[in-house]
Amino acid sequence: GAVVSQHPSRVICKSGTSVKIECRSLDFQATTMFWYRQFPKQSLMLMATSNEGSKATYEQGVEKDKFLINHASLTLSTLTVTSAHPEDSSFYICSAFSRAGESYEQYFGPGTRLTVT
């Protein structure tokens, strides 16, 4: 099946710094990617929908100025956590939507563990 990668897989940063997470679709083009956040023992929470060549659409309660999303190409979307704080520590997961014929599927990346100290 299709592959989605994330980089880095794990990052530790100091409070107040910014962190960029990359999401790539390796063998297909994705006009739409999604970013999720997951806290321990909880479900995935959709943060935003990233559309290639246009502004991201954020879910209610997600600060767009804090979580900057850029989808500059059909295979790459980036999430930048600006001025990170300990409460931003979480597991961030991206997914890419693929529509091929009658098949519709979201392929998920392996996730990025962010720890803010």
Positions touching other proteins (CB under 8 A) are: 1, 4, 6, 31-32, 34, 36, 43-46, 49, 91, 93, 95, 97, 99, 104-111, 113
Residue number with CB closer to other proteins (77 or 111): 111
Residue 76 CB-density burial (10 A; 0-12 exposed, 13-18 middle, 19+ buried) = middle
Residue (82 or 97) nearer to other proteins, CB: 97
Least distance from other proteins to the Cβ atom of residue 106, Å: 6
Residue 91 parent element (H or E)? strand 90-100
CB within 8 Å of 37: residues ≥ 6 apart: 44, 45, 47, 90, 91, 92, 93
75/111 with CB nearer other proteins: 111
In whole angstroms, give the CA distance from residue 107 to residue 98: 8
- 19 vs 93, which CB is nearer to other proteins? 93
Least Å distance, CB 16 to other proteins, is 26
